């Protein structure tokens, strides 16, 4: 069983100018993350644009990722779809390719009851004999996975943890409290501003989109915390605030990808139509990247 911990990167999916997959650059980005000390690679998170990739593209991205990682860190495959049937199909594909964990986002668009969400995850877990990580991001899906539902799901052996991207500190704390009843149930922050708070409260780490831009800095939050270097961990945590402030100008994963491009990596744009940024936003992003470069952030 994979131990879920540390800073996991929801790796972005590089594209060519025509929006086709750039698998060679994906390999470059994976090496960049591992060399920086990142603890896991997660294809098809929000930053990986899993929502806009077709089945064949997901197969190619995941196959390439697993080959490149080569067992050096765990691979978390985002396999959640709107339907239970398609989620099972994607999860079985991930298992066949050799992923270590499947991360399953809540179904989206149609409103789901907590009982429907419970049955969805239970059915998937029973059909896929591998570790399952729950993924709560209600602002994107429209469906919140409440702490009491997570607690019920934690009783299923191969549901091994949950990522909370609600941005609600009280909700994240309620998730972490579930560990008091099942100590091997891992809780990860999906909000980069709450990583250190999550660790202090008893969580295991984060799936951190900003790690695509600053992998050394994000990895150091966890490493400093584990080494009981809390002052250094806090400095690392605080250092990403200016970059996150740029999110006010547009879609966060669009800004993350544009930032990686401005750092000199040919990762391409997010797929249309989710790739716009105003001139004001570009100016703010360039300013922050330059300031952080002078501070030695990488």
Q: For tokens 């691979």, what's the residue?
A: 75
Q: How far apart are the first and last CA of the chain?
A: 32
How many CB atoms within 10 Å of residue 250?
18
Considering the candidates 58, 163, 173, 258, report the single residue annotated as catalytic: 163
Catalytic status, residue 222: no
Distances (CA, A) of 255 to 51, 66, 134, 230: 17, 26, 25, 29
Q: Identify which of 4, 71, 57, 72 has the alpha carbon closest to the alpha carbon of residue 26.
A: 57
| 235 included as an active-site residue | no
Token pair belonging to 85: 């049937």
- Set 51, 135, 214, 222: catalytic member: 135
List residues with catalytic annotation.
Answer: 135, 163
């Amino acid at each position: 069983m994979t131990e879920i911990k540390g800073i996991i990167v929801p790796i972005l999916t590089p594209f060519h100018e025509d929006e086709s997959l750039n698998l060679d650059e994906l390999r470059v980005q994976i090496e960049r993350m591992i060399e920086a000390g990142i603890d896991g690679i997660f294809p098809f998170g929000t930053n990986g644009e899993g929502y806009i990739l077709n089945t064949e593209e997901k197969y190619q991205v995941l196959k390439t990722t697993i080959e490149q990682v080569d067992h050096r860190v765990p691979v978390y495959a985002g396999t959640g779809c709107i339907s239970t049937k398609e989620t099972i199909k994607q999860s079985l594909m991930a298992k066949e390719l050799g992923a270590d964990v499947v991360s399953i986002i809540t179904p989206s668009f149609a409103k789901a009851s907590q009982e429907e969400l419970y049955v969805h995850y239970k059915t998937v877990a029973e059909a896929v004999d591998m570790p399952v990580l729950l993924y709560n991001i209600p602002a994107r899906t429209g469906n919140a996975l409440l702490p009491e539902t997570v607690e019920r799901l934690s009783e299923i052996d191969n549901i091994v943890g949950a990522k909370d991207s609600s941005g609600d500190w009280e909700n994240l704390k309620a998730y972490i409290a579930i560990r008091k009843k099942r100590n091997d149930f891992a809780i990860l922050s999906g909000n980069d501003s709450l990583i250190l708070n999550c660790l202090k409260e008893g969580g295991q780490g984060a799936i951190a989109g900003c790690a695509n831009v600053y992998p050394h800095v994000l990895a150091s939050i966890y490493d400093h915390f584990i080494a009981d270097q809390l002052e250094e961990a806090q400095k690392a945590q605080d250092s990403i605030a200016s970059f996150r402030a740029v999110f006010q100008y547009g879609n966060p994963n669009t800004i993350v990808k544009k930032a990686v491009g401005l750092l000199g990596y040919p990762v391409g744009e997010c797929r249309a139509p989710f790739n716009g940024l105003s001139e004001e936003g570009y100016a703010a992003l360039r300013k922050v990247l330059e300031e952080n470069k002078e501070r030695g952030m990488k």
